[in-house]
Structure formats: structure tokens, C-alpha cells
Amino acid sequence: MITIETKGARVPALGFGTWNLRGADCRKMMPEALELGYRHIDTAQAYENEAEVGQGLADAGLARGELWITTKLWMDQLDPAAVPRALAKSLERLRTDYVDLLLIHWPSDEVPHLETLAAMAEQRDAGRVRHLGVSNFTVEQIAEVTAGGFDPLTNQVEYHPFLSQDDLRAALDERDMILTAYAPLARGKVAEDPVIVRIAEAHGKTPQQVALRWLVQQRRVAAIPKAGSRKHAAANIAIFDFALDEAEMAEVAALGRRRERLVDPSWAPVWDAA
Ligand SMILES: NC(=O)c1ccc[n+]([C@@H]2O[C@H](COP(=O)([O-])OP(=O)(O)OC[C@H]3O[C@@H](n4cnc5c(N)ncnc54)[C@H](OP(=O)(O)O)[C@@H]3O)[C@@H](O)[C@H]2O)c1
């Protein structure tokens, strides 16, 4: 495992995504993921699985300090008055006293980011959150947040071989922030790309493993693939026994010019151009 160390945090670069993993399937996958070596779990209030994530993690019986748990405040919970109650409910469902990372899930047009972050910071100071972060923020929104005196640990955004994030990566790098890549497998599309397939064959790996390796090999980039089976979860974490060389890293990066964005809901901000 690669561990990203920044801003006093130690974050496993490969995490386990849980969107679309619900009910008994979710509960069952948690102990499996931990057994395979995952320690970083990504959930959100909006995924409606915090209770199953919490139950599954409890079933595994690992010490809380060994886990990194991220959750996210949904858009109707960003008012400063709503934050403490929303977080309390998440903690109850997750069966824990604190989360390692609390994110604003999507930037809001209605509630100023700095107000939500101030309420989140109070929760951090009270010990219920270790680190603050954001998700789906643009370069301009990151600049606004840092100019306002906040120092988020990460911006969690869509990032995979078919969507470059050059501007955002530079902005986050300048601030020692982590870019957490969601939809890192481009929801399966990486398996069909001839460049990735060729590199995978050269290493005796799968295209999915090449895509994940390409992400975590970049400075302060984490990836959180979702897997619904032990087989996929095991394959996704078997990426620390090989490395891509500079030419291969560049070849995969070049695919990002296609700019294929898979997650673009009506409430999304105006995305960065490059
Ligand atoms: N912050 C945000 O707004 C946001 C938005 C989207 C996602 N996320 C987070 O990011 C996580 C990952 O993104 P995602 O779930 O959208 O997409 P993803 O991880 O790119 O792709 C997941 C899909 O790939 C399949 N898969 C996984 N491992 C595989 C393997 N080794 N071989 C073949 N297929 C494989 C999964 O199938 P199976 O289920 O059958 O294994 C699933 O259909 C989410 O779960 C969530 O935690 C955050």
C-alpha cells in the first residue's frame, strides 16, 4: 500500500468506494475488504449505506484507529445549523465516535462554502471529525476556500485515464492537498481501451489494475474503486507489486485529453476546462 502523508494525515492511497453497494451486499463486503487489506472506506449520507458500512466494519472487529472512514454531507445538510445533527446521525449509523474525513459532497449555490466549513471545523474541534475536505470543487472554489482560511485535506473528484484534471491537480498540489479520484475505473470503460490493454498485457496485469496503478503512482493522488465482489476487490488492491515507467505514465495521461466525464448532474458546478 502507498500511504499519502500530508497535513498531519496518513491516508491509504487505495480506498474502497461504496456507492451503489447496499444492504446485505454492503455489510458482507466490508469484512472482505478489510481482510484483503483495505483500510480506507469511502461512504456518504447520500449512498444510504452508512448503517451497513458501520455494521460490516464492526463485524470485522478491527481497532478503530486502523481504519480511515470518509463520509460526506449531502446538499440539504450544508446549512451550518444542520451540520452537527447530520454528522451525529452519520456517526451513529457508522457506529463510531469520529470520522477521519468529512466532505462537502457537492458545492452549494445556496449556502456559502465558508459557512459550512466553519460548522464542520467546530465538529472537528469537538473531536467528531479528524480532517475536513470537499468534493466536486473547481479550481476557483478551492481558491475561495483556502483564501477564506480553510485548509481542506482533499478534493474528491472524478479522475481516470479518460478525464484529465491538469488544472485541478496543479491547484491542489500547490496547497499540498490530496486529489481523491472517484470513478477511477471510468465505471468499467478502462477495460476497453487498446493503449491500457497493451500496457496491462506487458505487465501481466488487467486494464483495471493499470488504471488504478496510474492513479496512485501520481503524487498525492488516492483512488477509491468500488467493487461488489471479493474477486474485483482483490484484483483492485493487487497493484503494489508492479510500477509503470515514465513513458507508460505519459501514454495513459495522454488519453485524458478525451475529457470523458461520466458524473455530471444538473447541480454540478461549471467544471474546469483542462
Ligand atoms: N464524490 C462524489 O460525488 C462521487 C461520485 C461518484 C463516486 N464516488 C465514490 O467513488 C467510488 C468509485 O466510483 P464508481 O463506483 O462510480 O466507479 P468505479 O469505481 O470507476 O467503477 C465501479 C464499477 O467497476 C466495476 N469493477 C470494479 N472492480 C472491477 C474489476 N477489478 N474488474 C472489472 N470490473 C470492476 C464494478 O463492478 P462490481 O460492482 O460488479 O464489482 C462497478 O460496476 C464510489 O463507489 C463512491 O465511493 C464519489
| pLDDT score for 151 | 95
Of 148, 147, 150, 145, whose CA–CA distance to 124 is shortest? Answer: 150
The alpha carbon of 96 and the centre of ligand 1 are apart by a number of angstroms equal to: 25
Q: What is the mean pLDDT of residues 194-211?
A: 98
The per-residue pLDDT of the chain, averaged, comes to 97
Locate 46 and state its grid cell.
447520500
List residues with catalytic annotation: 47
Residue whose Cα lies nearest atom 7 of ligand 1: it is 182
Residue whose Cα lies nearest atom 31 of ligand 1: it is 232
CA 119 to chain CA centroid, Å, is 22
The alpha carbon of 161 and the centre of ligand 1 are apart by a number of angstroms equal to: 14
Locate 133 and state its grid cell.
475536505
Residues spanned by the domain of 112: 9-184+220-228
Beta 9-12 vs 3-6: how paired, if at all? antiparallel
**Any domain includes 171:** yes
**Any domain includes 24:** yes
List, chain by chain if needed, residues with CB within 6 Å of any ligand 1 atom. 17-19, 42, 105, 135-136, 156, 182-188, 208, 224-229, 232, 235-236, 263
**Any domain includes 49:** yes
Greatest Cα pair distance, the chain, in angstroms, is 54
Name 5's bridge partners. Answer: 10
DSSP the chain: --EEEETTEEEESB-EE-TT--HHHHHHHHHHHHHHT--EEE--GGGT-HHHHHHHHHHHT--GGG-EEEEEE-GGG-STTTHHHHHHHHHHHHTSS-EEEEEESS--SSS-HHHHHHHHHHHHHTTSEEEEEEES--HHHHHHHHHTT---SEEEEE-BTTB--HHHHHHHHHTT-EEEEESTTGGGGGGG-HHHHHHHHHHT--HHHHHHHHHHTSTTEEE--B-SSHHHHHHHH--SS----HHHHHHHHHGGGG-------TT-------
**Any domain includes 13:** yes
| pLDDT score for 152 | 98
Atom in ligand 1 nearest the alpha carbon of residue 186: 20
State pLDDT tens for residues 117-131.
999 999 999 999 999
**Any domain includes 4:** no
CATH number at residue 94: 3.20.20.100
Of 41, 98, 46, 60, whose CA–CA distance to 222 is shortest? Answer: 41
Locate 239 and state its grid cell.
497493484
Q: What is the mean pLDDT of residues 87-105?
A: 98
Please check whether residue 251 is in contact with residue 199, taking contact to mean a CB–CB distance below 8 angstroms: yes
Q: Quickly count: other Cβ atoms within 10 Å of residue 210's Cβ.
A: 27
**Any domain includes 85:** yes
Q: What is the mean pLDDT of residues 136-150?
A: 98
The alpha carbon of 18 and the centre of ligand 1 are apart by a number of angstroms equal to: 8
| pLDDT score for 75 | 97
What total number of domains does the chain contain?
1
Atom in ligand 1 nearest the alpha carbon of residue 236: 31
**Any domain includes 274:** no
State pLDDT tens for residues 154-182.
999 999 999 999 999 999 999 999 999 99
Q: What is the mean pLDDT of residues 60-77?
A: 97
Please check whether residue 197 is in contact with residue 205, taking contact to mean a CB–CB distance below 8 angstroms: no
Indicate if the pLDDT at residue 274 is higher than 90: no
Task: Give the integer Cα–Cα distance in Å for 55 and 213.
Answer: 30
Q: What is the pTM of this model?
A: 0.98
Q: CA torsion sign, 3 to 55 to 186 to 103?
A: negative
Please check whether residue 207 is in contact with residue 244, taking contact to mean a CB–CB distance below 8 angstroms: no
**Any domain includes 248:** no
Please check whether residue 21 is in contact with residue 49, taking contact to mean a CB–CB distance below 8 angstroms: yes
